[in-house]
Amino acid sequence: MGYDDTTKTLEIEFQSGIVYQYSGVPAKVYTELIRSDPIGKYFSDKVRNRFQAKQVAS
């Protein structure tokens, strides 16, 4: 997982090896995501289906 503050892009590699980039993600959301437990629940509630996603690797 990584975040580019300049472009507000969140990049996540899932256990399957697929990599997605999420556009327009505020830094606060990224910070909360990496501090959350469980991370999957926060991702499902606050990121998935809320930001534009693009698959960049499989």
Cβ atoms of 17 and 44 closer than 8 Å = no
Alpha-carbon separation of residue 28 from 8, 31, 33 (angstroms) = 10, 5, 8
Predicted local confidence at residue 3, as pLDDT: 98
Predicted local confidence at residue 58, as pLDDT: 82
| Domain ranges (residues) in the chain | 2-57
Per-residue pLDDT of the chain (58 residues; tens, 9 = 90+): 999 999 999 999 999 999 999 999 999 999 999 999 999 999 999 999 999 999 999 8
Give the span between the Cα atoms of 45 and 43, in whole angstroms: 6
